[in-house]
Amino acid sequence: MPDTAASGPSALPLTPGSLDLDRLVHDVAEVLYVEPSDISPDEDLIDQGLDSIRLMTLVERWRAEGARISFVDLAERPTLREWAALLSPTA
């Protein structure tokens, strides 16, 4: 079973292709302290309350789990749908 200690107790383990839209919604909702149903995948995440500290938290979490992503990559594309395309295994 994959170790998720680096990403917090409620994070889902990262497996190939697991940074899909559902996973991203879950993780963003967690750092914003809202329900996943409150997150819109097409709305700018800054308008939904995401700040640079929380964004860096997500980047570090996903990097610790093996994702190859940077703060700038995500900050330049501030919607979950864009992140899902960027983080897909075929990207």
pLDDT of the residue at 46: 94
DSSP letter string, the chain: ----GGG-TTPPPP-TT--SHHHHHHHHHHHHTS-GGG--TTS-TTTTT--HHHHHHHHHHHHHTT----HHHHHTS-SHHHHHHHHSTT-
pLDDT of the residue at 12: 47
Q: What is the mean pLDDT of each run of 10 residues along the chain (91 residues)?
A: 40 60 95 96 95 96 90 95 85 53
pLDDT of the residue at 15: 52
Say if pTM beats, i.e. exceeds, 0.85. Answer: no
